[in-house]
């Protein structure tokens, strides 16, 4: 799928998204299309959340999931895997790193 022209907001408009399941991936997709700079952190070694680990391959082939995730990455979303946010990497630290907002898997948004 071709990547559409996206008018990017300033680099400071960074959004931290915790969880690369469908909720986090969808949030990142719509935010990047609005010009924001989303980074997804996931504690798992693969993106996709329950789509990857819970839904059988015959219902959702991993190649299709990878294609969708790669398209989201091509739009400009950064995905950092093996990064558990919480005790070892507190949410408050993300704001100190320059993220202005965060979206959690439960879709709650907090502003810095």
Q: Does 108 bind ligand FAD (CB under 6 A)?
A: no
Q: Which SS3 state, helix, strand or coil, does residue 47 take?
A: coil
Using the rule CB under 6 A, is 38 a contact of ligand FAD? no
Angle between helix 22-33 and helix 62-74 axes, rounded to 10 deg: 30
Residue 80's SS3 state is strand
Segments of 22-108 assigned E as strands: 37-41, 78-80, 101-104
Provide the minimum distance between the beta carbon of 7 and ligand FAD in the complex, in angstroms, as a whole number: 27
Of the candidate residues 55, 71, 76, 91, the single one contacting ligand FAD (CB under 6 A): 55
Candidate ranges 18-26, 28-36, 62-70, 94-102; the one touching ligand FAD (CB under 6 A): 18-26
Binding mask 74-103 for ligand FAD (x = CB under 6 A): ----------xxx-----------------
CA angle at 96 for the pair 94 and 98, rounded to the nearest 5°: 80
Measured from the CB atom, is 36 or 94 closer to ligand FAD? 94
């Amino acid at each position: 799928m071709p990547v559409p022209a996206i008018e990017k907001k300033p680099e400071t408009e960074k959004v931290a998204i915790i969880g690369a399941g469908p909720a986090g991936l969808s949030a990142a997709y719509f935010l990047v299309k609005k010009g924001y700079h989303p980074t997804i952190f996931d504690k798992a070694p693969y993106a996709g959340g329950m789509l990857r680990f819970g839904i059988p391959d015959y219902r959702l082939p991993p190649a299709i999931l990878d294609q969708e995730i790669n398209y989201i990455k091509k739009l400009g979303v950064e995905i950092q895997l093996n990064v558990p946010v919480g005790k070892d990497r507190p949410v408050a630290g993300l704001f100190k790193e320059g993220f202005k907002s965060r979206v959690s898997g439960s879709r709650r948004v907090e502003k810095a």
